[in-house]
Structure 1
């Protein structure tokens, strides 16, 4: 699992790094105020629709069904995979068309109080960005088929091309239009077309790479419209609960965007955009480590469940949690300490001021509290999915989302607008921490124990090994602030190099001395590759 996860983690790391460059270019070109909020509101809608229609069903329903078809069907599941890809292509093309027509309604749903030019710009951008729905969905199904063949590299590396395309578009946008491209009053429909269609072009390139990888894996796509053999009834019965879960989470996300849009209207630079940028950074460790490990673990857990090997399910889950925790534990502490030092070098350029970048970092610091609980929560859901149980995750996810919404509303009422987005991040961290506790209890009952005592002891040792790293980072922040004053690009880089870079080396050294197996495995694998 470590080898498979390492391949995916490498691709995801490059993807996330290029994603940071993309976000830097976006922040430089359009900033974090009104224009940035309009773009990010439009950009969030297709992902929300995809979550609702497809992405949640992929991991919970489609992957286990493809695995079963490969095992049971005489042709190894080839025809079944072709039917799924055909169905996804046709259905999502129709959805994309309907979404473009309904763009004004969708912007209204995800924001509050937007009128006039800001609303018009958001609608125009949405109409240019929403066609990516079809291409993103096709790529997602192709990626799922590749994963069941243990081909993990292409789905993790394809987003790199997406980011490169969009970075190129943003560089052109910034070079040609300059200040006019970030001013709502001056931006033209032609400029918005370049920005929106350029974003869609990245997804088209990503889907093309995945389809090419599928072909190289021996899969020849032949359109099949015999949907009666696509097991849609079975998929629907299993997927209805997942769709219910996604509906609930998207309602929670809509509340988040509405509350943050109101805060952004009250205090410029404190709205949807800082929430979005901080969340992207928060997702980096989970995307690099968590998603890689979970993607490798789900097919194995599904096969173990189908063969009645519950002990292997427990072993797979335990090793996955420990492997995730060995990296995410120190990273979560560093996020809580170094948040502004991370965001200033990334975002404080062009239209985004240092103060705006520091606020994004403050939101990121709060998010750091929920990094490990969120990753464990997502892994626990895969335990249920490996059993073909999509109902329990709905109940757990719905309860978590309701808690999140309740905490968000309470904090929104209590905090000034300048702290609203930080409050939304805190509500998210607390809700997923409580959700992980409930999900653990239910999953433990399902597999007759998850080895909680052993996992708890391992995680405790990881936190103890990470404490010197957190202390070092705090001292570095304090000393640099005294020596140089406020945060700048240079001082932030110094803090990251010493507090982050040296801090992580210190963690690896302490964890190695404490003989934490997962850290030793990672160090050994890296050392072995460097020695070749």
Structure 2
């Protein structure tokens, strides 16, 4: 996915850089918030691991804390994330009031649905836990209790998404990335209090209530903290119940396909959760204290997703309103240009990050989770899971970009059909790994299964989107030279197809695909060198070894940036160098 020729891309040098600078500025604000959020998230994960370890108690909490997000995404979240911004951008252009009344109606109906879903989920907590685990006895009771305290998160997750998307549609991108810091601070405080007061025995009912309600309180504060920002953006929500005949069917139809997409994802995730919790119980029965169950899988996934959240989500969130406007205007070249820009820019950081996660898995896991009840053997096992996840990060990030292009085009059906490939492969390959591998490595195999499924799905999605964004009208047939006879209908059609194929090769492959291929080549060199450097620096401790390995990986990419024409990486390095040179020196 590449930018079209320069002449088509812009009308002037000055103007052509403005959209990218604006997106980069918005993306930088969000990336900064995301980095702080992820940093406090690491502290949060460390405190939780120190408090609960990575055994069955941690598995129970992890399942109960994951279920609200699963149900939210399954029932409404995926639809809200993808449909809301394009829809609000569209009505702002079409409605005389800028879409204010329409937004009020859409928020009202969404809030009502969230309340009903949340109440039903709390009531059905035992059945939900039973569906996701095979637990019995005290383990089941503990997990159900955690779930009852955590399931109200569904409403606050929805509130956070709705208010955040309203802000995004108005160009206020930063708050949605910064308020999760408050959530992390609350959870750190709650688990810190538990660590200070617990006696190290099994969790009591009061302690379960403290940890469960404390986790939900963090999500609630994260959502409610957006209210002052909305007021500053001059948005005032007024409940409106006049839903009939107001055009709400359009986003609901689009949301229907997204619900199916999320459902396919959650079926695969349900398979993985059942298998991972079963693997954890089998491992405990065989004397393996931790690192082979769902909490280990969840911890590795959390660390693996950090670069995507900081880089790709921030960039694409800033691009989506502009991409949606281009799609609404029928400007496929503009959408294509934005997709290419997003793929190339995100890959410049995502590929080195994937290399670091693979090469430095054990030092990273030690720094983040190596506290309290988490032992060295569990760290080694979680490091293996992270290494299996790492290659899939590149495809995960690329797939996110491509799907947002479909959403900007108001097409939610195609991503659902394409996602069936990923979800089906993930479930099938995970079951294969659980069946064939020793219990110690079953969850590691599931992580590798997800990476492989993502990679295959990404390739298929790229092929489909390329065809969608290549308009037949852009196929230029050369005009006959003087003295030549004009082409016949058949010859003209054949020439048009040839020109289109050449255009596809030049536009799509040379930029986005070519850039990623060169980055992967650099990564294949950087990863083993980084791992070797970290291993030799093991005497410096986990932090020292990780830093040495990271520097080695960074130096390899910096050295290869010019020879391999890693344009986006060169630009980032050049900007960093210029900033350092501009800093005033102190005498």
Partner of 1:169: 190
Q: Is the 8 A contact 2:315 2:342 kept in 1?
A: yes
How far apart are the structure 2 equivalents of 1:176 and 1:87?
43
Q: Is the 8 A contact 1:139 1:211 kept in 2?
A: no
Partner of 1:315: 337
Partner of 2:548: 498
How far apart are the structure 2 equivalents of 1:510 and 1:351?
42
Q: What pairs up with 1:350-365 in 2 under 5 angstroms?
A: 350-365=372-387
Partner of 2:142: 121
User: CA shift at 1:400, angstroms?
Assistant: 1.3
RMSD over aligned Cα atoms: 1.7
Per-residue CA deviation, residues 111-137 of structure 1 (Å, 9 max, x unaligned), is 12x100000000000000111111111
User: CA shift at 1:230, angstroms?
Assistant: 5.4
From 197, 205, 209, give the equivalent of 1:193.
209
Partner of 1:487: none
Partner of 1:404: 426
From 568, 572, 579, give the equivalent of 1:522.
572
User: CA shift at 1:524, angstroms?
Assistant: 4.1
> Does 2:276 correspond to 1:260?
yes
In structure 1, the gaps of 5 or more residues are 485-489
Per-residue CA deviation, residues 146-198 of structure 1 (Å, 9 max, x unaligned), is 11111110011111111111111110111111413xx2xxx221111110000
Q: Pick the structure with greater CA Rg.
A: 2
Per-residue CA deviation, residues 14-43 of structure 1 (Å, 9 max, x unaligned), is 111111110000000011101100000101
Partner of 2:394: 372
How far apart are the structure 2 equivalents of 1:452 and 1:236?
36
Q: Secondary structure at the match of 1:451?
A: helix
> Does 2:479 correspond to 1:457?
no
Greater CA drift, 253-262 or 3-12: 3-12
From 469, 479, 488, give the equivalent of 2:536.
479
Q: Is the 8 A contact 1:46 1:130 kept in 2?
A: yes
Partner of 2:241: 225
Q: What pairs up with 1:230-309 in 2 under 5 angstroms?
A: 231-268=247-284, 269=290, 270-309=292-331
How far apart are the structure 2 equivalents of 1:285 and 1:174?
30
Structure with greater helix percent:
1
How far apart are the structure 1 equivalents of 2:528 and 2:300?
23
How many pairs align? 519
> Does 2:198 correspond to 1:148?
no
User: CA shift at 1:313, angstroms?
Assistant: 1.2
Q: Residues 225 and 527 of structure 1: is their aligned pair in 2 closer, same or farther, counting only changes over 3 Å?
A: farther
Q: Is the 8 A contact 2:537 2:548 kept in 1?
A: no
Partner of 2:494: none
> Does 2:106 correspond to 1:84?
yes
How far apart are the structure 1 equivalents of 2:68 and 2:234?
31
User: CA shift at 1:513, angstroms?
Assistant: 6.2
Partner of 2:230: 214
Q: Secondary structure at the match of 1:32?
A: coil
From 76, 84, 91, give the equivalent of 1:54.
76
User: CA shift at 1:318, angstroms?
Assistant: 0.7
Q: Secondary structure at the match of 1:179?
A: coil
How far apart are the structure 2 equivalents of 1:13 and 1:231?
38
Q: Which runs of 4+ in 1 moved over 6 A?
A: none
Q: TM-score, normalised by structure 2?
A: 0.85
> Does 2:439 correspond to 1:417?
yes
Q: Is the 8 A contact 1:80 1:229 kept in 2?
A: no
Per-residue CA deviation, residues 62-121 of structure 1 (Å, 9 max, x unaligned), is 211111111111111112222222222222122111111100000011112x10000000
Greater CA drift, 426-435 or 295-304: 295-304
Q: Is the 8 A contact 1:84 1:230 kept in 2?
A: no
Q: Is the 8 A contact 1:22 1:163 kept in 2?
A: yes
Q: Secondary structure at the match of 2:226?
A: helix
Q: Is the 8 A contact 1:52 1:246 kept in 2?
A: yes
Q: Secondary structure at the match of 2:344?
A: helix
User: CA shift at 1:502, angstroms?
Assistant: 4.3
Q: TM-score, normalised by structure 1?
A: 0.94
